[in-house]
Amino acid sequence: MAQKGITSFFQAP
Partner 1 sequence: MFEGRLLQGSLLKKVLEAIKDLVTDTNFDCSETGIALQAMDSSHVALVSLLLKDTGFDHFRCDRNLALGINLQNMSKMLKCAGNDDIITLKAEDEGDTITFMFESPNQDKISDFEMKLMDIDSEHLGIPDTDYQAIVTMPSAEFQRIVRDLSSIGDTAVIGVTKEGISFSTGGDIGKANIVCRQNTNVDKEEDQTTVEIHEPVSLTFALRYLNSFTKATALSPQVTLSLSKELPIVVEYKIEKMGFLRFYLAPKIEE
Smallest distance, partner 1 to C-beta of residue 13, A: 6
Alpha-carbon distance 1 to 4, whole Å?
9
1 residue type, one letter:
M
- Per-residue binding string, partner 1, 1-13, x by CB under 8 A, is xxxxxxxxxxxxx
What is the closest distance, in whole angstroms, from the C-beta atom of residue 11 to partner 1 in the complex?
A: 5
**Which CA distances in Å does 9 have to 2, 5, 13?**
15, 8, 13
Give the nearest distance from C-beta 8 to partner 1 in angstroms. 7
Binding site for partner 1 (CB under 8 A): 1-13
